[in-house]
Every structure is written in structure tokens, then in C-alpha cells.
Structure 1
């Protein structure tokens, strides 16, 4: 949906004071006086309230308003999403948002910036035009928490903000000014560890930068600054044509520095990105010198402390390489244009978006005109092969081939086990007796060759990696994890002979030794014969294709999906995946011999685990960066995303494309598919002016009771009306006269408070197959009961026992301009049928002497037609919306054999539940079957015991494996394979309802149509007498 929404709520007195401070220009505006506030955030992950917040105005040159920039701080014991503060900026918000994204994609740590809607005491102060375009930018604050988020493996370093004096006379231009910290305090400010007051790292850095011996200058400088990072930062700033009074203009102003503990080299961090990309209130020349940081913009002298660094030709050459790399990657139209659309396209004027894209094309060309295409620096050789994938083979016996995902490639005794091939490459027979194989070096003797086992010269020995007994050949007693595993061969003394470790495998392809050097590669299975290499594709095309940053029900953890568009498999062994490219591009290293199938996917759980198939980090639902690097840390792909929604993934559409889309059904391991477009048509089955007949009964039995049930009831003698205004009733004074088409005053007033109304209508289609929604709109004074084809569907102010002369139980004044009530009958469309239908109403006045009375209605249906191709995941979506667990009997007093789980189809459409799976709590896969609308079905612990207790009239899907825990446990109900999403994921507990813990009652969900996340809430459940298969 739209951007996150935030509320800052103050007393009116403090709000007015803050606004007054922010409007001054006499120095009062610079105060940091903060007002007490309550902070509320509403985003895709839910609603959060933070009391005892403090809000103040912020900014330097943009401090005054209206509107103002705001800084919102939170108490230590009441942090918001683990943050102590957030900022809201209001000047050229689009530039700040895009600038942050580009820096982070380039591998530079930068404050996260996302579009935000902000309400100050309910008021939206954002201007719809420039410089806000309707949104604030929510900007990450620079504090101790910034270091923890952006330098998670080195969070305890020093963060400095660097600004020139307001007078402009002195700048933070990285000059050495002696050992006294007081010489630096007025331009360099500690943003973390303020109380320690330790400036030694900063002083040492600028000392080296300015005073290191020439003979070792670059070597010494590389120890105190991350030179590559500095040059890349400066290159991004130059390509931005940043016109802020900062480094790109040759001014020591508007930047941050961070020095870690584990890595004490300083890095640059950007600040104030509102005048970049030809946006903002200052514009530079498109061909501005790329060395303006030291030459200075017109009228500037350059950053003094960097002039010596850039006097070295090799530094300039490396800097030019950074510019070229950025032009070919992050700033290339192929990547940059979709990024602009993704970050700004939904809310920015398209002429501004197009202007930014064109500017980058022009700036790229202008930069290349200065530096040329040819690198002046030496290239870097890339690593190739897998020398470290295995331990060197000792002797002639080797592990020669491993098939770790044998879906259907090689059959053995009627099944498809994982397989291992050993090869004797020597000239002598090898006695295998007592030698062992294992998938765990901590247990080297998992499989031990029996006495007499041997291999002849040139022989291949194939072993089954399974736990079967009997059958052909040897069985190892263990199978492989296709997401990553190892195989280790030991001699009789337990010493290693050979080994291989591998990552994600491709079904029906093996890994084996090939070539003259016997290195490992992907192979076509040839168990028992010489290995055959499988051709590989180009890994440069791999794309980060889908990601989930906040799983709750559908998925228990975040995930990242990689997609290989090449028709051939690709090798990603020793590649790296990270969410912190600025400081740790190698955060997750793929195991050697990791592969992605041709036109296939690799899915990794981002859950802070390090075992195969997992990543040692989690994604941030508030926005994050993901980057993929090859073995030489060359970036293959990267994405930046904004705040996410719980259980909704984001990814490329179609697979591998640059366009991003959200997916309400995340599909890791499957193709990303667009939701079909739909056409919604509303049909007036009954208009307010439709033909209707009404009668006021004069005695009991005068009108047969089937007047409200029979469509063909003879009402020809009843008074009728058609056309506008369409109401039935009377008005003795003024008010309803413009609403009434059939006047019943003479028949009702002083005689009877009830009238009967019949409104026939015709449906030309199959309503269940055609309609998705059905609504009844009514205007009434004072009460009524409505029947649809004889079934009561609505009742207001009506006595429980209706008589021919009943009066309304309360008064109600009808709305003159519209309907009073709307009833949603979408779950009762089945009451309609093709052909003739009837809406019958007993309408009632509050008394026979009330001065007015009216009733009118319309009935409308909504039809949704899908445009374009059929959506392949439609049944999965229907299951997510409509299949619910409604009852749990988990501790039956007669014994666990009477435990059961009841499920219901809570929608108006039939559900194909074939293949739906319980994967936690119990194990069960639904056979081929369909549930009708409203139908309930149970899965049971013991079929025979259940039948004996509850009879044969309950629909039973089958008997599950395992047992429900008497103390509570997690229950996971998943979609059929190949989907991995869960329909429901919750954990019940025996203390929720004590009578269900062996007391004979079951847990019953209160509202089966509630959001799936509420199944985890004990307040959503109640206790009840067991009623499997029944409401």
C-alpha cells in the first residue's frame, strides 16, 4: 500500500509553542526545546504506540517552517522498533529518499530514508507540490543505534558528525590541527560515546592523512581510512552532482565519519542529500570536475586534508575505476531507472521522475568524457575452481561422485536413494575392511566397511546413502541434506583419506571429479562409470528475485530467493550474500559446490542461523539492502526495499526483471506471477424504484403465511408501485413525502403498525458462480424483518415473535438523503437462484398513531471478471482465504485416540484441499477432496475410536500421524506442495481454557473469519462441548 503513517500528538499548548519556535528567525528557532508527545505508527507490520516521546524541531538551514523538520526521541525503556529516535524531514524529500537508496546500493552505509505520512495533532502539514510532493521523509537518526544497525559486527566504534562553523570561516576539512581535542570540537562532534570524550582515533587519522612519510604514505593511509570506501563515496557524490555545501563542492561540511574497533579504518557516511541529481535549490554544471573535492567548486578552495591523497596518480586511477564501475552498475539506466520508479514512481510527478533519469544519463556521459573508458589501474585476477572444496586425496582411493538429490535420476531396488561413488585409481586391490564413511566429522564411523570388502584396480563402488537394510550393495545409514552437506572417508585408524563438502544441489545432477587435476564440478550422474561434466551457465545473470522481511503466519522466518535466468545451471560456490554491503559484503559465504538449476531458484531462510539453507542475518521490515557478490567481491546484483508488510513478499516481475511488485502469496522456489487484473461490475438486482406490492393486514390469517416464502404467491390484489421514489409508507406532516411512492396512511394510521411488502426480481445468471458480493441497503422508520427467498436475513427493532399487527420495538428516524443500513449478504449468495426470486419484508411503525412511516430498499450484487491469463496460483489463494481450523480436541479424557482437529471452509466457494498438509503438531496430507462452502471436516488420532464415539455422520479426512500435545504445541497447516506458505501457524497452550486440558471440552475458535494471526491469541478461543463436524 501507501507509505507508513505516523501521528505525533501533543497538548494544543505545546503544539502551538513548537510551531511558534519553528517559525522564528531571531535565533529562537535554534533551540532544542522538546515537547511531550505520544507517537503512533501504522505500517504493514501493525500499529505501535509510544508514550513519553519527545518532539522538537530540527535542521540547520532548513530549520524554520512551516512545515518544520522534526526529531522524535523515545525513552530508554520505550524504544520504537529498537530505535531511540527518528527524524522527519520536509525539504526535497524525493531526493533524500533516492539518495539514501543509491548510496546503500553502492555499498556505502547511509541513513535509511523512506517516504512517510505525518500527522501533527491530526493535521497533515505536507505540501502537495515541491519540495515535499505530499510526503515527509522518515530519516534514521545518527546515534549509538546507527552504529549497531549498520556495523553489526563492529558496533562499538566512534561516530562523528562533521560540519563547518556557521560563519563558514573554519571547515571540517580533515586537516591536522595538533593533539589537543579542543582544536577539533567546533567542527567535529561526537555522535556516539559522548561521555568518553576520546578523540584519539580522529586525531591520529588526520595526522596520518596529512603527515605520513611519503615513502610509506599510501600504506600508512590505508591503515587509518578504508581507501576503497572513501573513493567510492566520493564517486557517488560526484555522479550525484551534489550541490550541498559539502565534500563534492570542495567544502569540509555535511558528512559523518565512523571508526570501528575491530576495523579501525575510518569510513565516510553521507548527510544532507536534498540537492542531488539536479534537484533542490542549487544546480551545478553537468560537466563539473570529478575532482572538485580537492579542486573546489567555483569560489571554493577544495578540502585541504585530501589534497595530498589525491596528488598520488594511483589514487586518482582507483577513483576513476570507482566512477566507471558505478556508471556500469548502480548508475546504469538498466538499474537506475527501475530504482527511481520503485522509490518514487507512486507519488512523484512523472516529469520529475523522467528528469532525474535523463540527468543521470547526461552526467554519466560528462564524467566519462573526463576520465575515459579505459582503466589506468591494474586489473584483479578472479579465483577459479575449487581447490578448497575437498581435502587432498591420499593415495589411490577417492570419493569420486556424489548424488545428493536423487529425485528420479538413478533407481536402486525400486527407489531413488542418494548415492556415493568411490573409485580405486591405483594398480592394486584395496582392502576396505574397517574403513569408514560419514557425513559428520565428529562421528567418523557412521558407516564402517565390513570385513572382506575390497575394490579392484580401476573399479567404481556405488553405495546407497539411505538407512535401508537389505537390497543391493552397501547402505550408509544416512542421507544427505541437499541444501549443503559433506562426505568424509577415513582409514582403519580414523585418519582422513578424502572428503568433499558441498552446498545447494540440483535435483538429478551430481558432483564429481573431472579433468586432469581431478577437481570437483557439477556432473551428469554416471554412477559406476567415468564422470561427465555438466555444462554451466553465466552466473552474472543471477538476480535477487524475491524476499520476505516480516513473516508471521505464512512463513516463520524471512527468506531471500535467487533466480538463475540462464537455461544452464550456474555455480555460486564461494559467492557472498549480505544485508550490510557497506561494511561486510562477505557476510554469508556460500559453501563450495553450490549450484542453481537452469531457469531455477535458490531459497535461503534469513533467520540468523548458519546451517545449510540458512543465512546468518535477518532482514529489516523497515527497509533494507540485499547484495550478491562473486568470489572476488564483485557485485552481481543488489536491491533496496522500503518498509514491508507482514507476510507479503516483494520481488521482481517477471522473474529477473527490474520491475518490483508485492505478492500476497509469497512463492519462494516458484515463478513470480502477477495477480490478474479484474473488472468489477455492480448489478442492481432490486433498485429502490423497483416494482413492489404492499398490504396492511386487517386481521390474523387474512394473508397466508407463505406470502414471504413463495415467489409465485398471488399478490395481484395488493396495492403496487413502480418507479421513483419507490418508498412505501406515509407522512402526516412533512419530511418523508419525497420518499414515498405507495401511500399507506389510510390503511395504517390508527389501524395497524405492520405492513407486508413483496419485491420480486429476476436473476439471469447462476448467482453462486457469478456473484462475489451481495448487499441489501435499507431506509426504514421504525423497524423491519427481511426475507430472501423465504430465509430471514435481516432484522432491526422487531419483536422476537412476529404477529400480523406487530409494532417496532424502538423508534428510528429514516435518513432523507441515503440508506440507513447496509447488510453484507456475501456469504448468503447461495440463497439466490437463477430465475425468479423474492425479497419479502414485514415493515413496522413504532405505533399505530405515529405520524410517519417509510420503508425502501435496494439489493445489489458485485460480479468480478478476471482479465487476461488465468492466475496459476488461484486455488492456493482461495485456501489462504478460506480454510480454517475451527476446533481442537487435544486432551480427551478418554484418551488421545479421541483427539481431533476440525477444519472448515469459511468461504462461499468450494475449496480443493487436495495435498494440504499438517507439518507441525501432527503429520497429515489431505487426500483428493473438495470442501463445499461452510463444510466442516476433521482429521483424527484414531479413526475407529472416533467413529465409535461420534458416529458415522461426521466427515473425516483421515487419521494423522503423531499425537497432539496435552500441554500445547505449534500447529502448522500448509498449502499443498510445491508451495511452502502456511495457511495457519499458531501455538495453543493448555492454560488458555483449563476445561480443555483433560476436562472433556475442546478449544473452539470464536470467529472463523478473523485474521489468521489471531489464531495465536488465547482471547480468540473459547471452550465448548466437543462437536466435531458441527457448528
Structure 2
């Protein structure tokens, strides 16, 4: 740490910028994820018949099962008007023990009207002060004497009216703020937006961060459409708790504008399903979903599910643990046996030292080969043309050990505890063959599900040369019970892709 280094960027600027930037992105429809649907399980392996639940804070959820987007392509249009201008008349109080502001609680925020603000200062345009006069063009109500070196907080009440017609046809609302250094905004008593502020700041609270002078005089937009139902036909109150960063601050500024309007063009595509109850997933499925609220779509959320399989579709399919010539010819083969991409970001192993990059993905049906880094040139000579996806440190045990793939949170994805004895194939122990998995759908850790490779040196990066597994299996057997009227039955399942 550098001595006397100014830490305000780390402690103040960076923490406050996220909320501001995310709000600005949401206003420009670049980011709209706050209301996105939530899944009861975020994809992966599920039992057949799993009931998937979707939830969202507000709005209606729409989804598809065919890979399409619930939103119909097209431009979204917005029309609206300012219902509260920055030049509007305002009532202002710098709270203190002398004027009773310290005891007002939340009564001044517009939720408990009528409120007596006759003794408050009144004026138009912005509220604040500036010893350097830079904010003067933006200030109509100067609170220098009441606030500077006295209190970091100022209360602002702005009355405005909304017609029944405007309220009925509108489905979005936008708050624009000029502020130095923080604020909390309340619409008829309900908190609708904030920056650099605590959830419920005290009457003499200060801002939790700073908003630089150049940014303070520029309107910053906050999408408050989710609170549009707080508007009333007729009289309304927008209340602002302005916050300064420090009693000795040389300047302070608060002003607000409120816009109301209609957003159109957010249409639902053909064939889209509306979520009303849990979705029963009987087979492999990709679900794409959005929430529609106040005429605006949420971000698209997509998850893929593999039904009726135990655990992850990832499998160790070939292990060369004791090759002739030494450990430099070792390799491990991974295979995605599913029908969807599997994210491998920051996955690692027990048994070898290797970690996947954060953006690593293995596609459906693809193989990944990892080889020892003991002598990469020697390995390439033995396996010319083989695409090696990574070089691991360390060596596999010739006597057997636990080899496991772990996810980014160190949870086991798939594992095999191979051995050079017992029921494990013997030709893989130094005779030039590898261990090859027989059946992708059977326990990948069972010795009976592994065999010696048909080819010496194995077949890294390719499907096993073992005989095909019969695609038809006995899936379920039911014996009649005295407590059930259902007859005996045997259920067969075709695991292949063609009729049998």
C-alpha cells in the first residue's frame, strides 16, 4: 500500500458507481434484469417428470420450449411527457432540533397527507448552495446558512398533479435527478429511488459516497416504472431527502424531474406459453423465458435440462494411467454425453493438477483430452495430429487413485476410483492399453463399466471402439399390489434416436 494514497476511489467512487451505471443502463434498455424470471433449478440433470417453478417479483412470465424468444422482434416505442419539471415549486426544510425537523420521522414524505409545511422555505428550481458559485445557475433555493457546517441533510417536498387520462394510459415512469452527493426519493411515501444513501437515513444523515461536481449538474435517470401504481389521480407528493458528504462540504445540490408515458411495441411472439403453474419436464428441454411488466420485457433467461439421467452428462471416458515409456504419455479423456453445452469455467480435478479457463465450454457429444506436461513434445510424437485441450501437472498413480472433476465451488461433478487390481481391466496396467468406459448411462465409477481399449495406445479424442450398447432397456417393472388397481406391467425404453 502506498503511503498517503487517496482511497476515495476504492471506498466511495467505485461502490456508488455500480448503482448509478446499472440504473442508467436500465433506462436506456441496455440492462433490464431486475425483473427477470427465476428458476427453481438453474438447468442440469433432473428426474423425469420434474416440476419446474418460475417466479418473478412483478409482471407475467412467458416462456418457450422450442428455443425461440418469447419477445416478438421489433422496435419498442416510448411516448411521454414531464409531469413534474425541475422548475416546479418546492418546499424545503433543513431539519434541526430547533425547527422540529429532527422529530418528523417519515411524516413529511407524502404518505400521510395533509402535512403542514407552511413554515418551510419555498421557491423554484434546484435546492443547495455553493461557496464557489459553480452551482448557482442550478439553484433557486439557497440553503447555505441553514446547512453549511450545520447539517448534511435537507428535506424537499414537491407537489404535483396527475390527470386520470395520463394515469390510465401510462405504463412507464422516469425520475431524473441532479444531486450532490446523495438522495432518497419517495413517491407518496413510498421509497422509489436512491443514490449514495442508506435505506432509511436519519434526519441528520450524510451521503455514503460522493458525486463529483461535473456529474452533479447533469440529469441522471432512474427507471421507477415499477412504482407507477403509487401515483394518484389528482394531488401527489414527490419527497426528496437530500444528502451531503460532510458538514464542511463547500457545495450541495438537489433537483428532480418526473416523466410519465406509454411504452408500446413489446409484443408476444406466436406460440409463446404463459406461465401459470409448474412446468413438468419429461425429457431434455431448453426453456427460454422473460417477464412482461408495465409494457417492458425483462432480460432473456435460458436454461437447459437433461431429464431422467443421474447426475451430470460429463463422463471420464478414457484414462491412460500407466503407459509404456513413462508418465509423459499419460492422458485423460472427458466427454459430454448430453445434448446441451456444459460450462466448465474454473472446474478443476482431484488426481491431476489442472483448472479450466473461466470461459471453458464443452459442446454436446464433444471430447476433451488433457495430457501430462512432463514431455509435451514426446506426447505429440506418439499422438500426431491429436488436439490436446490442456496439459496437466503431476502424474496419475500407476497403482490407482481417485480421479474427480470438481466444479468452481469444489463440488464433485463426476469421479472414478480406478485401480490396477481387483475387477479392473489388467491390460491398461503397463501393457499399452488404456481404460475405456463401456456405457455412458451406467455408473462411471464401477469397475465393471470399464474395459481395456481395443487399440494399443488407446483412442484419445474419439469414441470408444467397444461394441454398441443395446438401445432398448427395461425401464420400469410394476407388480400389482392389493392396494392398487393397476395391473402388472413392464416398461421398455428406447435410448436410441431411431425406431427399434
Structure-1-length-normalised TM-score: 0.21
Decide which structure has greater helix share: 1
* Larger RCO (CA within 8 A; separation ≥ 6): 2
With the length of structure 2 as denominator, give the TM-score of the two structures.
0.41
User: Relative to total residues, which structure has the larger strand share, 1 or 2?
Assistant: 2
